[in-house]
Structure 1
Amino acid sequence: MNRLPDLEAWAIFAKVVETRSFAQAAEALRLSKPTVSKAITRLEQRLGVALLNRTSRKLALTEAGRGAVDRAARLLAEGELIEAEIQDRAPVPAGRVRVSAPMSFGLMHLAPILPDFMAAYPAVEIEVDFNDAVVDLVGGGYDLALRIGTLATSSLRARRLCAVRLLVVASPQNLHRFGQPAHPRDLENRPGLVYTGVASPGTVRLTGPGDDSYQVTLSGGLRSNNAEAFLPALRAGCGIALMPEFMIWRELRDGVLEHVLPDWGAAPIALHLVTPPGALRPARVSVLMEYLRSRLSSAPWAIDHDPRQDV
């Protein structure tokens, strides 16, 4: 009879790759570092091949390790789900939820609403990775992600929370100095702030009255892959920019910035909750998802949530 797979060692291997550290994997799994190291050694000896190349400063997957890591991560996730489903028969959700969120949006709008959730569910531990990269939810061991924009086709499950307007904005000082634009073409010869995290930086298509469409190219006095960097320059009157409303709604409310060309608009972007495939979720994940849906879809900058677009 064949020996049973060393499932514990595979789970430890997945956690080491996820954390990129033997020490951090040991902390996450509540094991000693020697236990983690011995599990990886035991697994490699059993297989007769190295899974990790390790030095005092760096871990790197070998070819065999790269071929095994996704399935090892799934084994770990399935094991955690089995335990969670049994534990969730208890009345109080408990355990860790790993969340991925965009940097600026997460710091502005996710972090401030977490304390209320933590007070309501003290047994749930939240681990947030603020990162503008599109992470691998399954391979990275994430329970859910907040994502903004058009989603690529995949096996992931997505719930659309709301839409967010993209607004052309400038400060009153800027508009006093350069004048109030009457048409998108008036934006082309004035200082702009250009977001570089898109395929065509500075290129903006606006739709106006009668469905007229005009494509304008902003020239960049400041260019950045993070639109939050534009806020000080906008407030100081240094330029004009296309900004998501979640980032500048307070400035609009307080008159620090003004909505330019209000009769013209860019296509809105959508905010989604994304989870790994599969209908079953631990209660701790479900309650956090419902909390985020309730709070974010009712935010001052959120528009037109349509539950029929949940998938």
Structure 2
Amino acid sequence: MSKLPDLEGLAIFAKIAETRSLAQAAAELGLSAPTVSKALARLEARVGAQLLTRSSRRLALTDSGRQLAERARRVLEEAEAAEAECALRSAAPRGLVRLAAPMSFGLREVAPILPEFLALHPQVAVDLHLSDARVDLIGEGFDAALRIGTLPDSALVAKRLCAVPVRIVAAPAYLERAGRPTHPGHLADHACLGYAYLATPDLWRFTNKAGEEALVRPKGRLRANNGDALVPALVAGLGVGVLPAFIVEDEIAAGRLERILSDWTTPQGSLFLVTPPGGPRPARIELLADFLSRRLARR
């Protein structure tokens, strides 16, 4: 006798025990009736016991059959689950993923890497929605979103990818004209351009390494809900701005803007990948989520 268990025989016996009919078991398994009968006889010979009794109307389990039936059922269920999972993983992901992202971050950081993702997965499509307004993932039918700020609504599944540092900047011409502030309190006497999506846009908070805190209520003639919209005014010397580093880093490198108050920091946000709550996500969404996590976490 083979040392390996008769897994086929056990699976067939589980179906026989469920249906109490050799013919119905054969039909549901897509096997011939003789194949099912031979499998049952083979299994009974291996275990050395009769598993079924036959009457004119139906089959009944013997005591040995009842003891074996439950384990045989688990063997069949595990095998079916293993095959289904393998098939799901091996099938080429396909379909549409709706992704929301902040406007400036999406243009600068997400759009440039999407061609790589699309080349890797030719049957997956991406609908990229760019807006600085916070979308309702569930209500508006989005599969995932990138968000910058504090931890998002706990009803969503959130994964932190990286920190998003903030810079305090002004143009050299503005600083020559209005003076260079050396303490956040000095900003009360400066023109401050407002970014609507800071954590507290009407109250700028600053701290230094010594733990000192300073609060400033910014006053200025321009406010926008998109950081890039403020950059021309900053470069033109219209005031001081507090913006994410990824928006102003090129202008700082080119000398068109300067960092000020570098000994002070403002509350830094983080980049999160958020998805709606629920069970397992389709493979296409998992693939895009994993790709964004890997690429953006290295920023």
Q: State the shift of 1:131 in Å.
A: 2.5
Output the amino acid matched with 2:290: E
In 2 relative to 1, CA 136–209 (structure 1 residues): closer, same or farther, beyond 3 Å? Answer: closer
CA offset digits 1:94-130 (Å, max 9, x no partner): 2111111122222222112211211222211001122
Match of 1:35 in 2: none
Match of 1:158 in 2: 158
Q: State the shift of 1:286 in Å.
A: 1.5
CA offset digits 1:127-171 (Å, max 9, x no partner): 112223332322322211111112344332110001111221111
Structure 1: runs of 5+ lacking an equivalent: 1-84, 300-311
Match of 1:288 in 2: 288
Please say if residues 206 and 265 of structure 1, whose CA atoms lie closer than 8 Å, have aligned partners that are also in contact. yes
Match of 1:50 in 2: none
> Within 5 A, what are the aligned runs for 1:121-270?
121-197=121-197, 201-270=201-270
TM norm structure 1: 0.64
In 2 relative to 1, CA 279–254 (structure 1 residues): closer, same or farther, beyond 3 Å? Answer: farther
TM norm structure 2: 0.66
When Rg is computed on C-alpha atoms for both structures, the one with the higher figure is: 2
Output the amino acid matched with 1:148: I
Please say if residues 93 and 121 of structure 1, whose CA atoms lie closer than 8 Å, have aligned partners that are also in contact. yes
Take 1:97 and 1:236, find their aligned partners in 2: how far apart are those partners?
Answer: 40
Please say if residues 190 and 239 of structure 2, whose CA atoms lie closer than 8 Å, have aligned partners that are also in contact. yes
Name the SS for the 1:278 alignment partner. Answer: coil
Output the amino acid matched with 1:133: A
Match of 2:99 in 1: 99
Take 1:190 and 1:155, find their aligned partners in 2: how far apart are those partners?
Answer: 40
Please say if residues 170 and 240 of structure 2, whose CA atoms lie closer than 8 Å, have aligned partners that are also in contact. yes
Name the SS for the 1:125 alignment partner. Answer: strand
Output the amino acid matched with 1:233: A
In 2 relative to 1, CA 100–199 (structure 1 residues): closer, same or farther, beyond 3 Å? Answer: closer
In 2 relative to 1, CA 271–86 (structure 1 residues): closer, same or farther, beyond 3 Å? Answer: same
Name the SS for the 1:201 alignment partner. Answer: coil
Please say if residues 88 and 282 of structure 1, whose CA atoms lie closer than 8 Å, have aligned partners that are also in contact. no
Take 1:199 and 1:246, find their aligned partners in 2: how far apart are those partners?
Answer: 17
Take 2:243 and 2:128, find their aligned partners in 1: how far apart are those partners?
Answer: 24
Identity %: 46
Q: State the shift of 1:199 in Å.
A: 7.7
CA RMSD of aligned residues (A): 2.3
Take 1:257 and 1:296, find their aligned partners in 2: how far apart are those partners?
Answer: 25
Name the SS for the 1:89 alignment partner. Answer: helix
Q: State the shift of 1:248 in Å.
A: 1.1
Name the SS for the 1:133 alignment partner. Answer: coil
Q: State the shift of 1:91 in Å.
A: 4.6
Name the SS for the 2:116 alignment partner. Answer: helix
In 2 relative to 1, CA 132–86 (structure 1 residues): closer, same or farther, beyond 3 Å? Answer: farther
Please say if residues 146 and 273 of structure 2, whose CA atoms lie closer than 8 Å, have aligned partners that are also in contact. yes
Take 1:162 and 1:236, find their aligned partners in 2: how far apart are those partners?
Answer: 31
Name the SS for the 1:140 alignment partner. Answer: coil
Please say if residues 195 and 202 of structure 1, whose CA atoms lie closer than 8 Å, have aligned partners that are also in contact. no
Match of 2:24 in 1: none
Please say if residues 157 and 276 of structure 2, whose CA atoms lie closer than 8 Å, have aligned partners that are also in contact. yes
Output the amino acid matched with 1:94: R
Q: State the shift of 1:230 in Å.
A: 0.5
Output the amino acid matched with 2:160: R
Take 2:114 and 2:97, find their aligned partners in 1: how far apart are those partners?
Answer: 12
Structure 2: runs of 5+ lacking an equivalent: 1-84
CA offset digits 1:214-259 (Å, max 9, x no partner): 1012211212222221010111121111101121122222222111
Give the number of equivalent residue pairs. 216
Take 2:272 and 2:208, find their aligned partners in 1: how far apart are those partners?
Answer: 27
Please say if residues 195 and 224 of structure 1, whose CA atoms lie closer than 8 Å, have aligned partners that are also in contact. yes
CA offset digits 1:255-302 (Å, max 9, x no partner): 221111100000100110001113512221112112111221112xxx
Name the SS for the 1:137 alignment partner. Answer: coil
